[in-house]
Amino acid sequence: MENLEQIRDRLLARFPGAEVTLINNPGPSAQHSLLLGLAQAREIALFLRDDPALRLDYCSNATGIDWPAKEFTDVVRTPVKDAAGATLRILEEKTKRVTPGFLEVVYHLYSMEKKHGPVVIRLRTGNRTDQVTVPSLTPVWRSCDFQEREIFDLYGVNFEGHHDLRRILMWDGFKDHPMRKDYVAPDDYEWEPTPHGAVLEKAKAHYPAPPPATVP
Amino acid sequence: MTDPEIASPSAFPEPSVLATHSAATVRPVHDEFHGDLLEVSMGPQHPSTHGVFRMVVTLDGEVIVKLKPVFGYLHRNHEKLGENTTYLGSMPYTDRLDYLCSMTNNWAYALAVEKLAGQPVPERAEYVRVILAEMTRLVNHMCLVGFLFNDLGTSFTPLLYAFREREKFIDLFESLSGSRMMCNFQRFGGCRANPSPEWLGAVSKLVDGFPKFLDEYEQLLTGNEILLARTQGVGCLSPELAVQAGITGPMLRASGVGYDIRKADGYGIYPRFDFRVPIGAHGDTYDRYMMRILEMRESVKILQQALRDIPAGPVMDPKSRLRNFRPKPGEAYGRIEGPKGEIGFYLISDGSPNPLRYRVRAPSFVNLTVIEDMCLGRTVADSVVILGSVDIVLGEVDR
Amino acid sequence: MLGTGIIKGLAVTAKNFVGSFYDPARLVTVEYPEKQIPIPENYRNFPFLVHEGDDPIATLRCVACKICENECPPQCIYIVAERDEKGKVLKKPKIFDIDIAVCMSCQICVEVCPFDAIKMDQHFEIAAGNRFEGLLLHREQLAKPNSYYQKIHPTEAAEVDAMLTAMKARQAAEKSAKAKPAPATQTPPPAA
Amino acid sequence: MNAPANTNSLLERAPVMIRDWIIGFFPESLRWPVGALLAIAAMLAVFGLVFAFLTLAERKLLGRAQNRPGPNRSGLPFFRGTKLFGLTQPFADAVKMLTKEDIVPRAADHLLHFLAPVLVVAFALMTFAVIPYGRQLVAVDIDAGVLYFFAAGAATELAIFMAGWASHNKYSLIGAMRALAQLISYELPLLLSVVPVVMLAGTLSPTKIVEAQANVPGGLIPHWHVFTPWGAVGFAIFMVAALAEANRSPFDLPEGESELVAGHLTEYSGFKYALFFMAEYFGMIGLTGMGATLFLGGWQAPCAFLEFIPSYLWFGVKMLSLILFMMWIRATLLRLRIDQLTRLAWKFLVPLALINLGTAAFWSRTDSWSGPLQFVRWAIALALIVVPFVVIGRRLTAGLAPRTYRYAT
Amino acid sequence: MTAALILIALLILGSTAVAMSLRNLIHSALLLVLSWMGIAAFYLWAGAEFVAFAQVLVYAGAVSMIVLFAVLLTRRSRADLSIAPASLRRAVAGVLAGGATAGVLTLAVLRTNLQIAPSAAPTVTVQQLGLELIGPQVASVLVVGVILTVALLGAVVLAASDRNDGKEDAP
């Protein structure tokens, strides 16, 4: 199979307006991935599936990832020197930089026909609050049907073009998206006086008085 | 005895234009002659759904018009747990995914972490992993075939024969790893304990006696006319739809697509063994049953070769770390050919002891996508058999 | 010809029916309370604390380092270290609770314990009357003698004892070597 | 009754002597009703016990076929430690069934819900009246006994419909409909397989049919109908149809637990459920009893010199062997789907039964052939049986055969 | 003997009367079956065993099923249950029809000379019955056979024509 750069160049040649950038994977597994712009994501996916050289006809895995907004404080130290060159004091400027958070969907594509390895494509949403729509790839690979519904259920990514987007694991009346990093678990613990700290405090807070000691 | 022209499911939906999929195959529902359709909910408390799985079935008489799978009753957010515990802490939880094949779940997770951290594995550990994986494949296929015949209406006889054999394998797992089903045996860089020669001897004796059990089992069932009638031509799945819907494992090979990750990826030391991958031609329930039987025979061959030339030596890589194991930032997707299909782990590490993202690609979850396509036009009794042949385990589907 | 498959199937059930009277392989049920299957040596159920001497609490090997409490996936171990009157931490656990309702006997605590203080038991008939206090085992119920450990896990216990005696000998040798030139310094606890 | 001489051994006449001795105490006018009551009491006692131990035999046989010992834990109430190989298991089950709460759904039709199990057991018991258990041991010797037997059998459908309808439950209605379809479609092969026997025995009375199968004094080969070509086919069809009428293994569709929970029995619990269970066993006993009478020579001994064993024991052995065969089938076979079940009846059993009429007619016409013609006669009869069996069998299982598989490259 | 006859007659008439008065269709259908059983008892009383068991087999076994299935499958929507308002014309027509049939029946009963059957009715064995049917009565048997087959074929044609509008065939 041709490596990722060649695929990216072919895609850029094929779809001039598309944004296809290569995301490097620092880990030893060296499974780099292609970030696709949302506008032509589905055409690119169809091309990847039907291209005679690639024939990526099997989407093994669709995963949702939550990248919360990160705060960086860059510290710039500028030494202030007096006339004789001795450093009087160091001036520190802390600049707070916040990278915007986003939700990401990763697809691992394989070819059953040519039996060659994973091509990883990533789709990113605008942000984590209102722009959470991503074109659904279920019309291209039907194996993403249930997995996209699970991402919608646990992450809140809205898949446009999915034929039956409902919650799949949580019950329909559930409001929140449990797999997000900023998800707060509901405080409806039964009274479980396990010795361990966290559960104990939460249970005590919930039930001030412990239940009457049960006769053993 | 089946009438080929019995209401066989209409032409397989053209996969590419999916939007019209659900409308195309459902017949006009409420026209005059049909009378009122009966909506029956099979499950989650139902004798033949394997665990808490529910199918909302709309019946016209006995024929299924619409079938919606509903699950999530066993959802305990396994992946959020994975993000809150260390890499080692998640290993015992992988036993609880597909609780019939804990060894292959452990191996898939260990493989993914080793790919993530670039951790080498000693030679003997690779052989032990292949032996345990193939033993698990035998155990799982025996369970599947037993449960399938229970759905077909035998009074537990084939199930108890299969479980009699499974017990022998489970006892070997217990004498090696300490627990029958929750083995928690693989670590990142090898196995937790070194199997003793007596243990390996017991395995080879059991494996050599296994084909005799299979022959008796096939004599009991494979030629049985009622089985042929109940399963041939029932729940057909076309190869195109199977590939399109991401079906993997024996169910895919029953439809005629010869894709086996042991051959395709060649992970571990599978390229060293010569074994064949059986393929079906019709993709119906009978083919899926025969796939499991033939795969069991192939697994016996692999086991015999692995047991013959397993080297001595350590089973744990000396540089592997149990506690505060911090792989370098990066991501990795490791997958193996589990008994039910491709089971894969997608891990993203940011250098901390807990993974940033811990994703499990469960074969039963994806294999359920086509349950409605197979059941349309069949009767209620068939839908139970088709569900049985898909071989789902709810621990893995709901995670 | 129609029916031959059914007849072959009937033959198999008949063979099993007849076989169950004379062939032990064809009658596999073990009638539990009367007859019991011998437990394999590696079998593990719930953890217990090993103590060497005769007084269980004093001679516990556990030094309350809380490594097992951190590593335990379902976090069912709860340790509070002993403090002497001045508040200095002693190397003894004042409270060592394991909630065996939560424990899934995954044996990770045994692997990560640097002092071989906690091992897996093989006693599985432990039904209790009450779901909370009944299944919360305290230090006293958990402590079992090293001889019991040698009885249930012979090979493993032998290795552990050999390793421990070797280490004690090495420590004694270092101490005696150090004792002559300079006052003995506390050798660091053996590395993990 | 052309009973040969040496049947007056004590054991043989014992039941009849006891009855006459008891009747002797009553005045003439009361003789008949007391005799009838006595017969009823005897039958209920015997078949009650046979039912109890049949349930135990079924669970033991099923267990042993599945490499497990079957029930062996129930002991006696006051002797703690005794283990009686499960012999008291049926009584333990009976007590359990009696003490279980009997739930009737509120929306159910209370009268019919109560009446259904009663009628099912009543009709099943009525069929016992005409089966000849021994030389003079038949409760009511009616001239059209066989017809009475199938009339009572056919009435059970009514009761099953009542059970399904009165439970006011979606599942039990579908289950009841399935049960009716099955019973009606299998009544025809059942009756058609009996017609040749009646035709050749020339009578509808079971006792005369058994006597038609008497063995020639000194002869070694039993003259049972099953040893004639048309008899063997008739017996096979009768047994398959009997399995379906009694809702037994390959045809236990109504209570197909893997699909519609428990069919028309869903809303029954406690003793009413036990009644349905008992009716199934009585049905099985009745059908196998009539099968033995029609085809296996009822209470006839296989050959003349074995006649010192009492006739009712022969009947018992034949009936129990057929019942054990039914249990053996239950331990092995899978369940058929509703459309395959009805197709098997209409497209396979009925045609074969009709052709069997032809063979029986041919057989009776060519009675006078002798010497080499006997072989020709047997050859033609066998051809008349095997050819349609193979042709219809092949058409029935068109396209169904074990397959061979290829391997991926 | 006459006591049994009266009892049987009461059973038959009573069950049919109650059957007509009940609102619940299923109950009345089952009571109808009871009346057929009564007729079978009458035959038994008259000594004709064969006809009695044939009656039970045919009526209680099969015809009752057809009646019950008919009751179940007819679409009993609320609309057609309301009986049209009582009008004089309908009442007169009812009385006339009732009167005519009653007249014919009483005429037939009076014209036949009823002798009380001798105590033991001649027991007709099934064999004689069979020979009678095949011998002199063979014409009537053939006619009945033809009628039955025609009815059967009609049912099949009727069922087939309903079925193939839009659906292949139900399993």
Any CB–CB contact under 8 A between C9 and chain B?
yes
Q: Which of B371, B298, B311 is nearest to B339 (CA)?
A: B298
Task: Give the distance from residue D392's alpha carbon to the nearest chain B alpha carbon, in angstroms.
Answer: 11
Torsion (CA) B266, B272, B273, B276 in degrees, nearest 10? 50
pLDDT (0 to 100) of residue B19: 36
pLDDT digits (tens, 9 = 90+) for A162-175: 998 999 998 888 88
Of residues E1 and B74, more confidence is placed in B74
Mean pLDDT, all residues of chain D: 87
CA B236 to chain centroid, in Å, comes to 19
Q: pLDDT tens, position by position, for chain B (399 residues)?
A: 333 333 333 333 333 333 333 333 344 444 444 567 878 888 777 666 677 888 888 988 778 999 999 888 889 889 999 998 999 999 999 999 999 999 999 999 999 999 999 999 999 999 999 999 999 999 999 999 999 998 888 888 999 999 999 999 999 999 999 999 999 999 999 999 999 999 999 999 999 999 999 999 999 888 888 999 999 999 999 999 999 999 999 999 999 999 999 999 889 899 999 999 999 999 999 999 999 999 999 999 999 999 999 999 999 988 888 888 899 999 999 999 999 999 999 999 998 999 999 999 999 999 999 999 999 988 888 888 999 999 889 899 988
Residues 6+ apart with CB under 8 A from E135: none
Q: How many residues does chain C have?
A: 192
Chain position carrying tokens 């990160």: A70
pLDDT (0 to 100) of residue B17: 37
Q: Considering only the beta carbons, identify the residue of B93, B174, B228 that sits closest to C43.
A: B174
Residue D92 pLDDT greater than 70, yes or no: yes
D and C touch with 3+ CB pairs <8 Å, answer: yes
CATH class of E1-82: mainly alpha
**Which residues in chain C have their CB less than 8 angstroms from residue B221's CB?**
9
> Which of A57, A116, A140, A146 best probes binding to B when mutated, by most B CB atoms within 10 angstroms?
A146
pLDDT (0 to 100) of residue E122: 62
Of residues A22 and A188, more confidence is placed in A22
Two structure tokens written together for D76:
């006696």
CA B54 to chain centroid, in Å, comes to 19
pLDDT (0 to 100) of residue A198: 59
Task: Give the distance from residue B6's alpha carbon to the nearest chain E alpha carbon, in angstroms.
Answer: 7
Any CB–CB contact under 8 A between D59 and chain B?
no
**Are the beta carbons of D234 and D358 closer than 8 angstroms?**
no
Strand order in the sheet with C136-137: C77-83, C89-99, C136-137
Q: Considering only the beta carbons, identify the residue of D64, D65, D333 that sits closest to C6.
A: D333
Distance separating alpha carbons of residues C132 and C129, to the nearest angstrom: 9
Any CB–CB contact under 8 A between B4 and chain E?
no
pLDDT band at E75 (very low <50, low <70, confident <90, very high): low
CA B172 to chain centroid, in Å, comes to 21
DSSP state of E56: I
Mean pLDDT, all residues of chain A: 84
Q: Which of B231, B158, B225 is nearest to B382 (CA)?
A: B231
CB within 8 Å: B6 and E171: yes
A30 phi-psi bin (left φ>0, alpha ψ -120 to 50, beta other): left
* Averaged pLDDT for residues E129-140: 86
Query: What separation in angstroms does the CA of B54 have from each of B46, B51, B70, D292, E152?
Result: 8, 9, 5, 47, 43
pLDDT (0 to 100) of residue B11: 38
Residue D263 pLDDT greater than 90, yes or no: no
B and D touch with 3+ CB pairs <8 Å, answer: yes
Residues 6+ apart with CB under 8 A from E116: none
SS3 content of chain B, % helix, strand, coil (to 5): 50, 15, 40
> Worst-scoring range by mean pLDDT, B123-132, C56-65, D255-264?
D255-264
Among residues 264-303 of chain B, which lie with CB inside 8 Å of chain A?
264-265
Q: Which of B154, B174, B116, B129 is nearest to B303 (CA)?
A: B129
Q: Which of C9, D406, D334 is nearest to B294 (CA)?
A: D406
Mean pLDDT, all residues of chain E: 81
CA-based nearest residue in chain B for residue D175: B62
pLDDT digits (tens, 9 = 90+) for A57-116: 999 999 999 998 888 887 788 777 777 767 677 777 888 888 888 999 999 999 998 888
Which 3 state secondary structure label does DSSP give A95? strand
**What predicted TM-score, i.e. pTM, was given to this entire model?**
0.87
ipTM value of the model?
Answer: 0.85
**Which residues in chain A have their CB less than 8 angstroms from residue C138's CB?**
none
Q: How many CA atoms lie within 13 A of A65 on its CB side?
A: 22
CA-based nearest residue in chain C for residue B83: C73
Distance separating alpha carbons of residues A82 and D214, to the nearest angstrom: 135
Residue E88 pLDDT greater than 70, yes or no: yes
Peptide bond into A79 cis (omega under 30): no
CB within 8 Å: C43 and B193: no
CA-based nearest residue in chain B for residue A154: B77
Distance separating alpha carbons of residues C167 and C188, to the nearest angstrom: 12
* Averaged pLDDT for residues E94-120: 81
Among residues 195-254 of chain B, which lie with CB inside 8 Å of chain D?
220, 222-230, 232-233, 253
D86 phi-psi bin (left φ>0, alpha ψ -120 to 50, beta other): left
**Which residues in chain B have their CB less than 8 angstroms from residue E162's CB?**
33
The three-state DSSP-derived secondary structure of A20-81 is EEEECCCCCCCCCEEEECCCCHHHHHHHHHHCCCCCCCEEEEEEEEEECCEEEEEEEEEEEE
> Worst-scoring range by mean pLDDT, D266-280, E33-47, E124-138?
E124-138
* Averaged pLDDT for residues D112-141: 90
Distance separating alpha carbons of residues E20 and E27, to the nearest angstrom: 10
* Averaged pLDDT for residues D103-118: 89
Query: What separation in angstroms does the CA of B377 have from each of D114, D181, D294?
Result: 38, 21, 44
**Are the beta carbons of D261 and D97 closer than 8 angstroms?**
no
R_g of chain E computed on alpha carbons = 21
Amino acid letter, C29: T
pLDDT (0 to 100) of residue A131: 87
> Worst-scoring range by mean pLDDT, D37-46, D130-139, D231-240?
D130-139
Query: What separation in angstroms does the CA of D113 have from each of D167, D191, E35?
Result: 6, 30, 21
**Are the beta carbons of B119 and B111 closer than 8 angstroms?**
no
> Worst-scoring range by mean pLDDT, B359-368, D12-21, E35-44?
D12-21
pLDDT digits (tens, 9 = 90+) for C80-112: 888 888 888 888 888 888 888 889 999 999 999
Residue D131 pLDDT greater than 60, yes or no: yes
Any CB–CB contact under 8 A between B381 and chain D?
yes
Amino acid letter, E100: A
pLDDT band at D1 (very low <50, low <70, confident <90, very high): very low
Q: Considering only the beta carbons, identify the residue of B1, B62, B222 that sits closest to D400.
A: B1
Task: Give the distance from residue B186's alpha carbon to the nearest chain C alpha carbon, in angstroms.
Answer: 12
pLDDT band at A205 (very low <50, low <70, confident <90, very high): low
pLDDT (0 to 100) of residue E8: 92
Residue B64, H or E segment: strand B63-70
CB within 8 Å: C12 and B178: no
Distance separating alpha carbons of residues A181 and B80, to the nearest angstrom: 9
D40 exposure class (CB count in 10 Å sphere: 0-12, 13-18, 19+): middle
Residue B42 pairs in a beta bridge with B55
Residue D317 pLDDT greater than 80, yes or no: yes
Task: Please provide the DSSP assignment of D206-226 as one string.
Answer: HHHHHHHTPPPTT--S---GG
CB within 8 Å: B62 and E166: no
* Averaged pLDDT for residues D100-112: 87
CA-based nearest residue in chain B for residue A163: B19
pLDDT (0 to 100) of residue E163: 52
> Which of C99, C103, C135 best probes binding to A when mutated, by most A CB atoms within 10 angstroms?
C99
The three-state DSSP-derived secondary structure of C34-46 is CCCCCCCCCCCCC
Q: Considering only the beta carbons, identify the residue of C75, C129, C133 that sits closest to A196.
A: C75
* Averaged pLDDT for residues A40-48: 92
CB within 8 Å: A195 and C136: yes
Domain ranges of chain D: 103-366+375-388
